Structure 1
């Protein structure tokens, strides 16, 4: 489901937002700005010149990591619901961005949050939200496990 939401939102952004155009959604706090990210998170590796190494880091390695996470879900029977849902969110977000990299050679990012000096993001997409939500759920799961083991 999160792969579908990610791809639909990116399709809408590609169709209705010009590259680097800024559209205020909630004042200056939530802004739509479309960019094409040729690298990983926040443009990491976007300037890598060697196409073979770039392909390894941006396509092959993510596929291996996603398969490893899937294996963890299938093999481990003692995972709590936060961990399972978190890992699934990471897989879904990873697939969404990987799909873009394979099909378009870049990932469409289009959302930006700026809450003044309190909180500011780079430009991101729904797949990134899914990965961050999944990471948060994994942290929550580890904290809950730690609390149980301390009791």
Structure 2
């Protein structure tokens, strides 16, 4: 089940990014639901919200490729080797791993991550994000919720 969630997350993420690269002109903002949901095509050479864009290429490879790859592999190994983890905890970690791998694939293959969604509600605007970012965010919120409810992660 863990691998299915990871593979589905990576697959949906990569297909949506490829469609965006093929069908949406870079830096164009297309209203999908009035001005509340925007479709665009932005290449992020850094991490979340552009953090690290100005790092040297070597530092970017270490912090945005090597370190995440190591952490994702350790996380996957740990959850695969624990037979009695809470089902929701497994789903949370699988979403984080799948989302992390989706963005890591972009960084390795293209040198940047394709982001394409933005929400705008009045003065509130999100950063521009993708399916991998959504998966990681949902996984982290699930993890925090489970910890708040007293479920120990044991990872």
TM-score (norm 2): 0.88
Inter-partner Cα distance in structure 1 for 2:70 and 2:15: 25
Q: Which residue of 1 aligns with 2:76?
A: 70
Tell me how far 1:24 sits from its aligned partner.
0.4
Aligned mates of 1:2, 1:76 — CA distance in 2: 22
Count residues in correspondence.
Answer: 144
The CA deviation at 1:90 is 0.4
Give structure 1 stretches of 5+ with no counterpart: 147-151
SS of 2:117's equivalent in the other structure is: strand
Partner of 2:47: 40
Show CA shifts across 1:18-58 (max 9, x none). Answer: 1110100001100012100001111110111x211111001
Corresponding residue number in structure 2 for 1:144: 149
The whole-number CA distance in structure 2 between the counterparts of 1:5 and 1:141 is 26
Report the aligned-residue RMSD.
Answer: 1.2
Say whether 1:93 aligns with 2:106: no
- Specify the SS of the correspondent of 2:118: strand
Residue matched to 1:24: 31
Gaps of 5+ in 2: 1-7
Cα drift, residue 141 of structure 1: 1.3
